[in-house]
Amino acid sequence: MNIPTARNPLSGEELVLRSVINETVDSKRLEVLRSLKSLSNPASQSEISQHAGITRQAASTHLAVLRDRGFTRRQDTEIELTAGGYLLLDVIEQCLRSMSIEQMSFLTRSEYPLNILRELEKQSLRKSELQTAISSSPSRPTVRRILSTFEEYGWTQDNGGYQQITSAGTRILERYSDAETSIKQLIEKAPWVQRLSPEDATFPVQELADAELVVSKPTRPSSALWTAIKLFDRSISRFRVVCSIYNPMLFHGYRGLLELGVESEAILDLQTYANTTKNPYTHFVVDESAYSNYQPFVLDYEHTLGIGIYDDRKVAVAGYNEFGDGKHIAMIISSNDKLVEWAISLYESYRVQAHPPTIQSSNSI
């Protein structure tokens, strides 16, 4: 039986998903996550340890693991949840609506309980058959102990010597599998998720499975931007973008679409708008009269988000580490219908906040 794993691109570590879940619910790590959400985010390590009821050393250990996986980050002397951390906690809490912490801990403490429940989901088996059906070959006492606990939870039952999964057991396995799938994506897309604001992280997590992740690197700082530029093609009939970085080469790509007559909208954050107006080469980006097929808009604040919507069939959503220059970009590209729908909805949420640059030009930058 294959062991579900996820590779953490932040560290290169291959993680067993069952272990990640168990480490969270079968320790005080869950309380650390809950404390970070309950406290004013960010919070000091002392506040976190006190709220979670653990020592500073224990809090430090849990926070280090969460940071390495992109679920927390440090701001000066304080720690805060990233969007990935909020989503991880939400996934776990949703699973705990169907089972207790004790039950989830038992289910994930070793590979045997999940393997047994998954085998019984396929077919009813005798206890002796279960032992040989599982590739890891647990001992007979281990199988009996697990089945006894499952029966206590109402997840399995004995029917004439055959072990059967109950409807409750099937539901538990479905909830767990959903959580496992989501956490896999949060780990594997961590460079992107950790850069999003929690308010924008409303996407369907499991749908990230087929999304392409592009991350800029110190050796290739423009790789994500270059990928975004290559997404422009002549078949596009409508293009919408939220732009929070000033990059003339990127704007050159926009101009190419406008010259082709593509219907376009651009929402610029405040700093990008200010930089664009100062350069004659890029001034067309904020000029409402430059192209009849183009409408620019401006936000009244700086942001670290980029959205590109290519018709209604493909999206690119990027997050940046720093305001203004777009260093350290992580981006996903997807044609998944649900992710496209999410990105369009996110774009519209910024569209209602934005206004034409003619209004902004009368105000000081």
Chain segment 87-105, per-residue pLDDT in tens = 999 999 999 999 999 999 9
Pairing verdict, β 238-243 and 263-268: parallel
| Stretch among 52-56, 130-134, 242-246 having the lowest mean pLDDT | 130-134
Q: Give CA–CA dist 198/208, Å, rounded.
A: 17
Does pLDDT of 66 surpass 70?
yes
Residues 7 and 151 in one domain: yes
What is the CB neighbour count within 10 angstroms for residue 144?
A: 14
The pLDDT value given to residue 2:
78
* Cross-sheet strand order for the sheet of 72-75: 43-44, 78-81, 72-75
CATH of the domain at 11: 1.10.10.10
Residues 12 and 158 in one domain: yes
Boundary-marking domain end, from 190, 224, 254: 190
What is the CB neighbour count within 10 angstroms for residue 105?
A: 17
Residues 144 and 288 in one domain: no
Q: Give CA–CA dist 261/291, Å, rounded.
A: 9
Residues 138 and 168 in one domain: yes
Q: Which residues sit opposite 297 in a β-bridge?
A: 267
Residues 232 and 327 in one domain: yes
**197 within some domain:** no
**133 within some domain:** yes
Residues 170 and 258 in one domain: no
The pLDDT value given to residue 363:
52
Does pLDDT of 138 surpass 90?
no
The pLDDT value given to residue 234:
77
3-class secondary-structure state, position 325: coil
Taking only the tens place, the pLDDT of each residue in 207-259 is: 999 999 998 875 565 677 778 878 877 788 999 999 998 888 888 888 888 99
Q: Which two tokens stand for residue 115?
A: 């393997």
Domain membership of residue 216 as a residue range = 211-360
DSSP class of 336: -
Q: Give CA–CA dist 118/2, Å, rounded.
A: 12
Does pLDDT of 117 surpass 90?
yes
The pLDDT value given to residue 327:
59
Does pLDDT of 152 surpass 70?
yes
**140 within some domain:** yes
| Residue 301 and residue 341 in contact, taking contact as beta carbons nearer than 8 Å | no
Does pLDDT of 34 surpass 50?
yes
Does pLDDT of 178 surpass 60?
yes
Residues 184 and 254 in one domain: no
CATH of the domain at 245: 3.30.870.10
Q: How far apart are the first and last CA of the chain?
A: 60
Closest CA to 303 of 197, 223, 215, 224: 197
Which ranges of the chain would DSSP assign to H, the alpha helix?
17-25, 29-38, 45-52, 56-68, 83-96, 101-108, 111-122, 127-133, 140-153, 167-188, 190-193, 223-230, 248-259, 270-278, 337-351, 357-360
Boundary-marking domain end, from 158, 190, 222: 190
Q: State pTM to two decimals.
A: 0.91
| Stretch among 1-15, 21-35, 181-195, 318-332 having the lowest mean pLDDT | 318-332
Taking all residues of the chain, what is their mean pLDDT, rounded to a whole number? 91
Q: What percent of the chain has pLDDT over 90?
A: 75
Q: Give CA–CA dist 314/364, Å, rounded.
A: 36
| Stretch among 103-112, 193-202, 248-257, 305-314 having the lowest mean pLDDT | 248-257
**18 within some domain:** yes
Q: Is the Cα torsion angle 184, 69, 114, 153 positive or negative in sign?
A: negative
Residues 231 and 296 in one domain: yes
Residues 341 and 261 in one domain: yes
What is the CB neighbour count within 10 angstroms for residue 328?
A: 17
Q: Give CA–CA dist 343/200, Å, rounded.
A: 10
Mean pLDDT of 327-356: 94
Does pLDDT of 361 surpass 60?
no
The pLDDT value given to residue 365:
46
DSSP per residue, 198-239: GGG--S-GGGGGGPEEEE-BTTBTTHHHHHHHHT--TT-SEE
Cis status of the peptide bond prior to 280, with omega within 30 of 0: no
Pairing verdict, β 263-268 and 314-319: unpaired
Give the distance, in angstroms, between the CA of residue 155 and the centroid of all CA atoms in the same chain.
31
**205 within some domain:** no
Q: What's the Rg (C-alpha) of the chain?
A: 25
Mean pLDDT of 308-314: 94
Q: Give CA–CA dist 85/261, Å, rounded.
A: 42
Q: How many domains does one find in the chain? A: 2
Residues 260 and 176 in one domain: no
Residues 14 and 155 in one domain: yes
Residues 40 and 166 in one domain: yes
**203 within some domain:** no
Does pLDDT of 324 surpass 50?
no
Does pLDDT of 125 surpass 80?
yes
**200 within some domain:** no
Does pLDDT of 292 surpass 60?
yes
**173 within some domain:** yes
Mean pLDDT of 114-140: 90
Q: Give CA–CA dist 317/340, Å, rounded.
A: 10
The pLDDT value given to residue 328:
79
Q: Which two tokens stand for residue 233?
A: 């093609």
Mean pLDDT of 254-268: 92
Mean pLDDT of 96-120: 96
Contact residues for 2 (Cβ-Cβ < 8 A; gap 6+): none
